[in-house]
Structures are given as C-alpha cells and as structure tokens.
Structure 1
Amino acid sequence: MAAELGAHESVQLHEVLTCLVDGINKFQLYRPHVQDPQLRSILDKQIGFMNQEYNNMVQTVIHHSKGEAIPYRRVKNITPSYGLKNPSPLTPNTSADEMDDRDVSSGMLGAHKASAVLKMTASLEFADPTIRRMLQQGAINCSEQAFEIWYYMNQRGYYQVPTMKQMTTQTMINSFNTGHVPQYS
C-alpha cells in the first residue's frame, strides 16, 4: 500500500525522485570521461549510494515501510588547501570528447548542490515524519557528497579557495557580537 500523501507532497516527491534518477544517469554519462582512478572510485561510490537512496525512498513511499534514512560516509580528517595558485582560465568545451576530470568533478559538485537544496526544500512540505526525515538526511547526504568531491577538486587545484588579508577577515568576523537573550517565564 502506498503512503498517503497530499498533492504538494506528491509533487515534491516526484521532483526529488526525478532529480535522483537524473543525477544517477548524469553520473553514468560522466564515467567514460574519468581518467583519475581516485575520481572513478568516488564516482562509483556515489552512484552506488544514490541508487541505494533512490530504492530506499521508493520502497518507503510505495510500500509504506519504515525505511531508515541512510547517512553517507565520506572520508574524515581532511586539510583543505587555501589560496590561489595560478588558476587556469576556464572555457567551454567544444565537444563532449574534451571532457576531463575537472569537468566531471565540477558537474558532480553542481548536481549535489542542486539536489541538497531540492531535498531540504521538499522536506519542509512533508507531514509524514519518515519521509520528512528521509528527505532531510538526503539533503545532508548531498552536502557530504558535495564536500567529498569539493575536496578532491581542491587538492588538484580545480577549486581554489581565495583568501583575504587576516586583518580583513578578523574585522568581518569581529563585526558580530552576542545578543541580549530575553528572559521568558
């Protein structure tokens, strides 16, 4: 028996599941263009997880099973690289044959960012706590997958992090102060 859903929940769920299918398909299209074994490993791991997440969500909705929101496990204890180090200019490819690891990883990152926003927005519309939690965890999973691919890009100079002078950074951060906490009875 399928879960009982409101009209807006059905539309949101359709959008999320379509986005998941499109993401899986897009990542499969990227695969032949990957040269780096580490990127291929990340891509394959993420495709597998996205398939698992999709199947879990469909099973939960169609069979109204008590599906669990599965967390994505990425590598911990990383050290990002900060600063600009001769970034290469970007230009569009003239054909799909020119796609490289930078293009693939950038496409993966963009897909995860968009999917995170979509899943979190959809979660705000759900009354069913199981599906709501599944969508929330899905947004977190996209964030973790995005961070994993961002770190890959960062280590190869594909996604450099510009910095400011320390004084400017401190001035911006120090422009905030703790506020007065009202006492309610």
Structure 2
Amino acid sequence: MAASLGAHEAMELHEVLTDTIDGINQFQLYSPHVKDPQLRSILDNQIRFMTQDYNNMVQTINQRGKGESIPYRSVKNVSPSYGLQNPQPQAPNVSMNEMDDRDVSSGMLGCHKASALVKMIASLECADSHLRRMLQQGAVNCSEQAYEVWNYMNQKQYYQVPTMKDMTTQTMVNSFANMGQIS
C-alpha cells in the first residue's frame, strides 16, 4: 500500500504514527507518578489500546488495508458533576517529583484531545477510503479515551464544569431557530 499512497496521505500518516508513538511514550512517562488505582487502571488500559491501535495502523499501511480499527469501549453510566466546588488554584510544578494524579490525568486528557485533531485532519487528506475510515475511527477512539479521563477528573473534582444562570443558558440555547421560522 505504501507505494500507492498520495503525498498528503503519506505525510499525514507519518504525523499520525509519530503522534501515536509520542502519546504512548508520554503515558509511559506518567506511569511512575500515578497513585490512584482507578487512574492506574485507566492509564494501563489506554496504553494497551494505544499500542494495539498503533500496531494496527502500521499493519494496515504495510499490508494494503488488511487491518481493522477496533472501537474503544465507551464510558457507560456517567453522571457528570456540574458547578464549581471551591476549585484549587493551579500552578506549574517546581519539579517532576511533585507530579500527582491531577497532573497525570490532565496530561492524558490533553494528549487525547490533540491526537483526535491530528487523526481527524489526516482523515480529511485521505484518498483511500479504508485509510480514511481507520483514521476517523482513531479520532473517535481518542475522543472516547479523553471522555474516560475527563470523567475520572470530574469525579475527583480536578475538572469542574462551570455553569451559568439558567436565564443566561436558556437565552443562549433559544437564540437559534429552524430555517424558515424567523419572521
């Protein structure tokens, strides 16, 4: 397949694969700093999945589309907590020895957000429909992994969801109408 790739496909796949390697390496760097067993489980599962996804992409590229993208399991029964409950001020750590579960989960979330963008942008440059679908599924997988980490952060109050007054929210939501209904 490598010989039949367009220039944009080859360049975007290079970016995606490099980004995936960087993500796996980044998560491995986080590993010694994790204290919470729940976060440990999320980190370990995501490293395994990211490694499997990377190997699948390489196989797909090298063997003319033989690999299949496997969807990441979605987080079920999530009840986000809304509102701010006395959020703690944030500042950079003075040394890496200060890294904690909040830092690790925040880094994981940022990695998945960036990787979702890289994969979706790459999918827009693919002429090969199989590669395009693989990259699109990869972006969705990153989104699901990000949501899993976000949910953990929300439960621990590391990532709180600010809200607005109901009147402000309703005004914003109700400021749109179906086409043809505006008089």
Do these two structures clear the TM 0.5 threshold for a shared fold by scoring above it? yes
Which amino acid is 1:176 matched to? F
Aligned-residue CA RMSD in angstroms? 1.2
Q: Which sections of structure 2, spanning at least 5 residues, go unmatched? A: none
Relative distance call for 1:3 and 1:59 in structure 2 (3 A) is farther
Q: Which residue of 2 aligns with 1:112?
A: 112
1:168 aligns with 2:168: yes
Counterpart-to-counterpart distance in 1, 2:113 and 2:8: 23
Counterpart-to-counterpart distance in 2, 1:121 and 1:167: 37
Aligned-pair CA distance for 1:3: 5.5
Contact conserved, 1:68 with 1:134, CA < 8 A, in 2?
yes
1:122 aligns with 2:122: yes
Q: Deviations over 1:101-148 (max 9, x none)?
A: 000000000000000001000000001111100000000000000000
Q: Which residue of 2 aligns with 1:72?
A: 72
Contact conserved, 2:31 with 2:43, CA < 8 A, in 1?
yes
Counterpart-to-counterpart distance in 2, 1:3 and 1:150: 40
Which amino acid is 1:11 matched to? M
Count of equivalent residues = 181
Q: Which residue of 1 aligns with 2:136?
A: 136
Counterpart-to-counterpart distance in 2, 1:13 and 1:180: 43
Aligned-pair CA distance for 1:4: 1.4
Contact conserved, 1:72 with 1:144, CA < 8 A, in 2?
yes
**What pairs up with 1:50-89 in 2 under 5 angstroms?**
50-89=50-89
TM-score by length of 2: 0.96
Secondary structure at the aligned position of 2:4 is classed as: coil
Relative distance call for 1:45 and 1:3 in structure 2 (3 A) is farther
Q: Which residue of 2 aligns with 1:46?
A: 46
Counterpart-to-counterpart distance in 1, 2:127 and 2:58: 17
Q: Deviations over 1:18-38 (max 9, x none)?
A: 000000000000000000000
Counterpart-to-counterpart distance in 1, 2:40 and 2:4: 39
Contact conserved, 1:3 with 1:63, CA < 8 A, in 2?
no
Which amino acid is 1:87 matched to? P
Aligned-pair CA distance for 1:6: 1.0
Aligned-pair CA distance for 1:2: 3.6
Counterpart-to-counterpart distance in 2, 1:75 and 1:91: 30
Q: What fraction of aligned residue pairs are identical, expressed as a percent? A: 72
Q: Deviations over 1:25-69 (max 9, x none)?
A: 000000000000000000000000000000000000011142212
Q: Deviations over 1:69-115 (max 9, x none)?
A: 21000321110000000000001001110000000000000000000
Q: Which residue of 1 aligns with 2:154?
A: 154
Q: Which residue of 1 aligns with 2:34?
A: 34
Counterpart-to-counterpart distance in 1, 2:41 and 2:61: 30
